[in-house]
Amino acid sequence: MCNYVDSSLTKAEIKEMYGVGFDGEDYEPKKFLNGFSHALVPVILDENPGVATSANWGLIPSWAKDRKIQKQTLNARIETVAEKPSFRQHYKQRCLVLVKGFYEWKWIDAKGKVKHKHYLTLPNAEIFSLGGIYGQWTDEATGETLKTFSIVTTQANELMTEIHNTKHRMPIILPKAMEKEWLGNRDIQDFAFPTHEAELKAINLDEALNPRTLF
């Protein structure tokens, strides 16, 4: 699962990192963005990788009558993305979801009454991307057209199994060298763990120790 990200990057930072301009609806950079707000997030689409744009988090399939399905489509499991009705028309339409990090909670007790919030980043990368799929949806009632996306998730690696210790999932993390391959025609299953894995750094934001625990 991946429902919370650090999307505090600016358009200037995107241009510096990726060498692209921005053409799309303005997004609000946020250090802690809740996916269930379905906010605009900066992305780079495979159909036009020379420019960054924005899209609403929570993919709306073309057949949907309204936006209610978005709360169920923040994530798409890589194992079933080609089969699920919500994703099968869009899983070959790939995007880079641009972030500075993402958040996950570790259950400290069996019932999840006590949780520790962790912040995940890539070492030595101020901005990186998560693997996403996207689509374009038109609201028949208003005529409004939206770009929407889901973050693709895979089985957790050793680090994320320790942190996300209930469902053992993690987003597809794309180091710079892998981004073009994600946007290309490479089989999406090639990015599933353990075939593909990226190094992560985790900070326990709720650990009482100083400095905070690093994994």
State how far the Cα of 135 lies from the Cα of 103, in Å rounded to an integer. 25
Q: Give the pLDDT of the chain (215 residues) as one tens digit per residue.
A: 899 999 999 999 999 999 999 999 999 999 999 999 999 999 999 999 999 999 999 999 999 999 999 999 999 999 999 999 999 999 999 999 999 999 999 999 888 889 999 999 999 899 999 999 999 999 988 999 999 999 999 999 999 999 998 999 999 999 998 999 999 989 999 999 999 988 899 999 997 654 454 44
State how far the Cα of 21 lies from the Cα of 42, in Å rounded to an integer. 11
Say which residues have a Cβ less than 8 Å from residue 99's Cβ, sequence separation at least 6.
5, 6, 7, 9, 41, 127, 128, 129, 130
Q: Are strands 75-77 and 145-155 parallel, antiparallel or unpaired?
A: parallel
Kindly report the pTM of this predicted structure: 0.94
Q: Which domains does the chain have, with CATH numbers?
A: 4-102+127-198 (3.90.1680.10)
CB 43 within 8 A of CB 121: no
